[in-house]
Copies of this chain bind each other. A is one copy, B any other.
Amino acid sequence: MERGGDVPKASKREDLLASALEVFHTRGFHGTGIQEIADAAGAPKGSFYNHFASKEEAAVEALRRYGAGRRFDILGDTSLPPLDRIRRHFEFLRDENVERGFTRGCLVGNFATGVADHSEAIRAAVLEGLRTWSEAIAAALAEARRDGSVRPGLDPDETARFLLNAWEGTLIEARAGRSQAAFDTFFTMAFDVVLR
């Protein structure tokens, strides 16, 4: 990708960040080099360091960008019943994964398993990502509890974190099996067993 000299710096940073997200998601933190991120953005390697202090800093920013693409807006769309929103949210994530041939998994889970033990900054960003996500699910579950569409007594926060964790593991099974079976099981167990 060639660019003229008149492109503002903010745009170059966005290009680098989009490339970083793509390469981190495809190859993992340890499999990613700064040269590859720069190449994918059509930028010289030195340009990376004009925008990020380190690969770790780019990973934290890439994770935030990834989170912003998780369609949490579906969970807050009050024109739909809360359980429909939760289902559509996970269907969106499933469809995305199926399109990618069951590869890549979730960047939050990948960074948790691959690098959180060795980077406090990335561990904190993973934790923040999980919290933002589970809180959005918990808010919809709290509505479902009020309108009586889930079984009585379910704790929205615990249930949301459990479902989110089950989802992360579901991606692991789907990735290992290159198969939809894990998703089918998730939807049956989550909506017909956990929530009913």
Contact = CB atoms under 8 A, between A and B. Distances in A.
B113 A110 contact: yes
A175 B109 contact: no
Contact of A112 (B130, B176, B189, B193): B176
Contacts of A166: 162, 165-166, 169
Interface residues of A, number: 46
Interface stretch (A11-19, A65-73, A87-95, A153-161): A153-161
Contact of A114 (B28, B116, B161): B28
A158 B28 contact: no
Contacts of A188: 158
Nearest to A134: B173
Interface string A98-129: 00000111001110111111100001001100
Given A162-B185, A165-B170, A109 B113 contact: yes
A58 interface: no
8 contacts: A109-B169, A110-B113, A112-B172, A113-B175, A116-B175, A116-B176, A159-B189, A161-B182
Interface of A: 26, 28, 30-31, 103-105, 108-110, 112-118, 123, 126-127, 130, 154, 158-159, 161-162, 164-170, 172-173, 175-178, 182, 185-186, 188-189, 193-194
